Chains A and B, each alone.
Chain A
Amino acid sequence: MAESRDDEQLSRRLTVVAALGFVLIVPPFLARFDRLDQVFGVPVLAAYLFLVWAIVIGLVAVIGGRSR
């Protein structure tokens, strides 16, 4: 079976998500949150990384789930 348009589109969208995720977890974004403070009782950096992580997972789930 040949590559369908849907599959191609899905690949492209997910690639964008991956690129976004990568950019968010490396400096300079990373360095921006790399400080001693806490937020909701959790270190800022950890909170930031887990948030980005959750967003990426969520995006992949939504995008992957919408494609048929």
Chain B
Amino acid sequence: MLQTWFIVAVSAGYLGLLFAVAFYGDRRADAGRSIINNATIYALSFGVYATSWTYYGSVGWAARAGVGFLPIYLGPTLMLALGWLVLRRIIRISHRHRVTSLADFVSARYGKSTALGCLVTIIAVVGVVPYISLQLKAVSLTFAIIRRHPRVASAPELSHIPLFQDTGLYAALVLAAFTIVFGTRHLDATERHEGMVAAIAFESVVKLVAFLSAGIFVVFWMFGGLHDLFSRAADAGLTTMFTLRGQGGYGMWVWLTVLSMLAIVLLPRQWQIGVVENVDEKHLKRAMWLFPLYLFAISIFVLPIAAGGLLRFGKAVDADTYVLTLPMAGGQQALALLVFIGGLSAATSMVIVETTALSTMVSNSLVMPLLLRSRSRLAHRDNLAGLVLGIRRATIVLILLLGYAYFRLAGEQTALVSIGLVSFAAVAQFAPAILGGLFWKGGTRRGVLVGLVAGFAVWAYTLVLPTFADAGLLSASFLREGPLGVGLLRPQRLFGLGGLDPISHAMFWSALLNLGGYVAVSLADRPDAAERAQAVQFVEILEEPVRERRWQVRATVGELQTLLERFLGREGAQRALSSFPGGRPGSLAAEAPPELVHHAEAQLAGSVGAASARLAVAAVAGEEVVGSDDVMEMIGEASQRVELVRWRLKLLYDATGGIGTTLDVTRTAEELTQVAVPRFADYVTVDLVESVLRDEELVTDGTGTGSRRMQRAAVSGIHDDAPLFAVGDLLTFAPSSPQARAVESGVAVLVPQLRDSAEWQEVDLDPARGSRVIDYGIHSLITAPLSARGVLLGMVHFWRSEKPEPFDQDDLSLAAELATRAAVSLDNARRYTREHGLAVALQRRLLPRALPEQNAVEVASRYLPAQAVGGDWFDVIPLPGARVALVMGDIVGHGLHAAATMGQLRTAVHNFSTPLDLPPDELLSHLDELVALIDQDAIAAGDKTTVTGATCLYAVYDSVSGDCAIASAGHPAPALVHPDGTVEFLDVPSCLPLGIGGLPFECAELRLPEGSTLVLFTDGLVERRDLDVDTGLGLLRETLARVGQSPEETCDAVLDALPPKLRSDDIALLVARTRVLGPGQVTEWDVECDPAAVRRVRAAVSARLMEWGLEDLVYTTELICSELITNAMRHATGPIKARLIRDRALICEVSDHSSTSPHLRYAASTDEGGRGLFLVAQFTERWGTRYTKDGKVIWAEQAMPGTPGG
């Protein structure tokens, strides 16, 4: 009843149904309601993996080797588990870069290489044609069997089928038609074939249902379930059903697992379905488990059917046909027909997708690039879309005929399985290129080329040649004895490697050579810019998308449109242009923006492949002069340079912030070394001219000879044990050394390879060190002079050891820039250090070194300089009449200027106090005028810093009366410690600071009991950043109340209690404890205005001196007293007083109420008077006048015998 015509009709009907499904799928797609945008459909379409090989072949395999067929399905399960890691990357890359085939992918990954695309295409076609032939063979074979229904034909009967009875041929032709209709319907940038995918998913269901039906029938109808089946198999001694032992070890098992893992991605049809036809990468999530489940289901009855076949037929029937022959033997015609249709669907789905994928590869990666390159007339046609489709259609027919030819010539003898494995092994050769290219940026075009060619050659030699020999196309001796009898070259025992099954053997050698060649050549290779750019794009596909490098070409919008029309047709071009996100540019003659050119290329790439699209755009954009590869390279290198420049700027920016944070020469040198390590160099050393380190003035002649001595100032490196000179070592570079040359020329010198040059080792100290440096791994040097303002300060040396690349010219300029910046900082530090030192020296010189001796007060002083030189000063000036002046001042500002001004003021105060003996308020007035004058001069001279604002406190203490007069010009009031320990801050009228002028100064007078302590200080003591004035004063008051000791102790206690932390301001402190001369040391007389009184006073003076034991001075003192009193009587008014004070000197004073100043004159010989003062001046050490509130005092001092200066 199963007539041939019926079978043919059902088959045709099935194929018609397929057409309908595909047509429906395309219609839905055109209407925008895709049916394949569905994870389940996607997973089912993956079922294209299950071909006739699975459908018929795995049962045949199981009959021979039990579960040995399983790796072919376990492998894909594992690979899909890795799908999120691997497939998702490939999908995303393909979608983003419009990669539409496996060949295109390899080509695009390795710099859009045309050669690689061609090679991959050729390997794919050669490798897959046998696989296609396998499908045709299966169709042909099963048709021959079912045609003979109900008789089950034996294997030899089917061994030869006449050409025109062979369904394989007709199947091939029908499939070609289907593929042409649905696989090359139109040229589209996404290269999706929705109808075809829908048909494939449908076929997956059909074959699964058919196979499961056959399985269930065999297990549960023909036998009594699994248990019965396998018990009988065990009884029949079918041990191959149960174990893998005794089948040549597990090597093949492992290899098959690996091969099928690769095949599920790398077979062109799997690539087409899994990558190109993928609508949404999220669909992968379901396919990752649903497709393995599909494989699981379709494999579950393989072993039982094989066992059943063996039990039923033995060796009489080809085991590959058990699926079909068992239902036939069971008399189930309908089931047999279903099984046949299932087998047909398995074969057709594979052939359709495979030829579609291959035709895309052939047209896009092989034919079009060649046409475009050859500039053949074909490539200049207006409608290239037609040409491309034509190429594809021709390719489809050609491939199917090739497959059929292979089947007729070589395939008839071979089991389905071994043909399939040969194809698996072929596509596995792509694994290093694709998987390597996915995760390893280092893989290069030449590496792939070498690996692929080697792997493919080994594959052909060890796997394909033997099948030819089996088919009788080659002599069998070729296999047994090797070509020309060379045993080492036997295809299945290459280089004597025996004991392996053919697949393991071939895979071992091809994987070794392929992977080895790929890795070795890639490592040795230097990829060009385009390749590097593509590598980054591919490997980092999951990172943030970066903008692909843009074309920098000139093309008008019109030219681009024409180009697109040529490839995509008028409508396609319109679609492509309108999909440009930047909006449609207005005029056709306008120049196209680079984005549009890029967009056009991307659209074209989807249709004709990346390499072809590039060539096509280059042709339009006038890339004849500059090759497109060069353009890519230029763009790539330019962007790399931008990266590099950015890196440099960052380094220099960090250097600016990092070098010169202090004003210390050594610290600055250390900072230079730290900035450059490890980013720029692995080691950095800085040598400084010795005088720089010693703060000496530098020779500025600039004629630095190479032998100048340097001292190592800083070393920094990634490790501490480098054999470079250590800090403190003194070095002299030989005149020929690069270091000396750098010094001489003033520019940085590069020594890219230390090994190749010996001069750099020429340092006077320890010349053997050079070889140790090289042995340590240091290989490259830049040495740069550190000079600023024409003066050489030192050198910096940059060394590289672990960074593999030597310094280059760009590094040299960067090093020079670093050195220049560091040198300026070093010079600043050096200058600052010098100026600071000078100012400190100046200030020390200007302050009193030892306080003068006097008896009026007991004094102690402290001066604490700040970091910057300040202007605090103080003084103690002995005044006549057993008095003393205490001065404390503070100049605004710091530095040399402050120190110099302080010197001026101090001198001025000295002059105002000693000879003029001005009272405090007057003295400050004079000082005020002086400061104003100094400022006027300074401003006139263009000086910006002025003295105005300086403060001063001036106190005069009279140790006879205990009186103290104090005036202050804006200075903090002194503290007074009473003898009983109570402390008060004196209420001194606070007047304006010096130099402001205007108001007169006021003087405060007070009487101090003996033993009082005056504490004078500058604001630095009580006012600091961490201490406000009131707290400081409070602290001072407490401290003073606690200590009642000598001035020295008081000073120490105060500075202990108020320790200067930051030394931001200097501190001066002066402590004076008062003394009062006792009654035994002072005698005073009132003198009436009567000449007779002079005699009385003389007598009293004489008596007093005798009492004090100063007989020697009686005569002169009497004379002085009488002269002074006489003068007072003659010239002055008011009550006259005379006073004798025995202090360090004998002081004789006469006061009156006149303010007329006496003056010394030389009396002429005729003058009656005018000799008195002359005599006084002759007899005394010093004499003078001072003014008091009531009048004036004339005083004269005589040295006492036995006292210094006497």
- A residues near B, CB below 8 A? 1-3, 7, 10-11, 14-15, 17-18, 21-22, 25-27, 30-31, 34-38, 40-46, 49-50, 53-54, 56-58, 60-61, 64-65, 67
Contacts and interface: CB of A to CB of B under 8 A. Distances in A.
A21 to B, nearest CB: 5
Interface in B1-39: none
Nearest to B245: A34
B40 to A, nearest CB: 13
A67 B225 CA distance: 40
Given A2-B544, A7-B88, A45-B242, 15 more contacts: A3-B542, A11-B85, A14-B84, A15-B81, A17-B81, A22-B78, A25-B71, A26-B254, A30-B244, A31-B250, A36-B239, A40-B227, A41-B227, A41-B229, A60-B292
Interface string B417-436: 00000000000000000000
16 contacts: A3-B542, A14-B84, A40-B226, A41-B225, A41-B229, A42-B226, A42-B230, A43-B67, A43-B303, A44-B242, A45-B244, A49-B67, A49-B70, A56-B78, A57-B77, A60-B289
A68 B764 CA distance: 71
Given A43-B242, A46-B303, A14 B81 contact: yes
Given A49-B70, A53-B292, A34 B83 contact: no
B243 interface: yes
B230 A56 contact: no
Interface of B: 66-67, 70-71, 73-74, 77-85, 88, 225-231, 234, 239, 241-245, 250, 253-254, 257, 285-286, 288-289, 292-293, 296, 300, 303, 542-545
Given A25-B74, A43-B66, A43-B230, A57 B289 contact: yes
Contacts of B227: 40-41
Contacts of B257: 22, 25-26
A26 B253 CA distance: 8
A57 B257 CA distance: 16
Q: Which of B74, B81, B84, B225 has the most CB of A within 10 A?
A: B81
A24 to B, nearest CB: 10
Nearest to A2: B544
B593 to A, nearest CB: 26
A14 B288 contact: yes
The 10 closest A-B pairs by CB, nearest first: A41-B227, A61-B289, A18-B81, A3-B542, A43-B242, A60-B289, A11-B85, A64-B285, A11-B84, A18-B78
A18 B76 CA distance: 10
A57 B292 contact: yes
The prevalent SS among residues of A at the interface is helix
Contacts of A11: 84-85
The prevalent SS among residues of B at the interface is helix
A34 B253 CA distance: 13
A37 to B, nearest CB: 8
Nearest to A58: B289
A44 to B, nearest CB: 8
B296 A54 contact: yes
Contacts of B234: 36, 38
Contacts of A15: 81-82, 85
Given A22-B257, A42-B226, A45-B244, A60 B67 contact: no
B238 to A, nearest CB: 10
Contact of A26 (B250, B296, B544): B250
Contacts of B231: 38, 41
B250 A27 contact: yes
A38 B230 contact: yes
Contacts of B243: 34-36, 43, 45
A14 B292 CA distance: 14
Contact of B83 (A3, A14, A25): A14
A43 B292 contact: no
A57 B300 CA distance: 14
Contacts of A50: 296, 300
B944 to A, nearest CB: 58
A45 B73 CA distance: 15
A34 B230 CA distance: 16
B74 to A, nearest CB: 5
Contacts of B73: 53
A30 B67 CA distance: 11
Nearest to A53: B296
A41 B388 CA distance: 57
B250 A30 contact: yes
Contact of B543 (A2, A45, A57): A2
A16 to B, nearest CB: 9
Given A41-B225, A64-B289, A53 B66 contact: no
Nearest to A43: B242
Contacts of A38: 230-231, 234, 242
A56 B221 CA distance: 31
Given A41-B226, A45-B67, A57 B78 contact: no
Contacts of B229: 41
Contacts of B545: 1
Contacts of B81: 14-15, 17-18, 21, 56, 60
Contacts of B250: 26-27, 30-31
A56 to B, nearest CB: 6
A25 B82 CA distance: 16
Given A45-B242, A53-B292, A57-B289, A18 B67 contact: no
B1144 to A, nearest CB: 92
Contacts of A44: 242
Nearest to A38: B230
B85 A14 contact: yes
A33 to B, nearest CB: 9
Contacts of A57: 77, 289, 292-293, 296
A7 B303 CA distance: 38
A32 to B, nearest CB: 12
Contacts of B85: 11, 14-15
Q: Which of B228, B231, B244 has the most CB of A within 10 A?
A: B244
B84 A7 contact: yes
Contacts of B300: 50
A55 to B, nearest CB: 11
B566 to A, nearest CB: 35
A50 to B, nearest CB: 7
A2 to B, nearest CB: 5
Nearest to A41: B227
A45 B285 CA distance: 30
Contacts of B289: 57-58, 60-61, 64
B963 to A, nearest CB: 88
Given A2-B544, A34-B245, A21 B253 contact: no
A56 B292 contact: yes
B74 A53 contact: yes
A34 to B, nearest CB: 5
B298 to A, nearest CB: 12
Nearest to B73: A53
Q: Which of A7, A38, A41, A46 has the most CB of B within 10 A?
A: A46
A22 to B, nearest CB: 6
A47 to B, nearest CB: 10
Nearest to B292: A57
Given A57-B292, A57-B296, A36 B242 contact: yes
B230 A41 contact: yes
B78 A21 contact: yes
A65 B286 CA distance: 8
B77 A56 contact: yes
A37 B243 CA distance: 9
B74 A49 contact: yes
Q: Which of A2, A30, A36, A53 has the most CB of B within 10 A?
A: A53
Contacts of A25: 71, 74, 257
A53 B77 contact: yes
Contacts of B80: 60
Contacts of A35: 242-243
A7 B1196 CA distance: 106
Given A2-B542, A50-B296, A53-B296, A21 B77 contact: yes
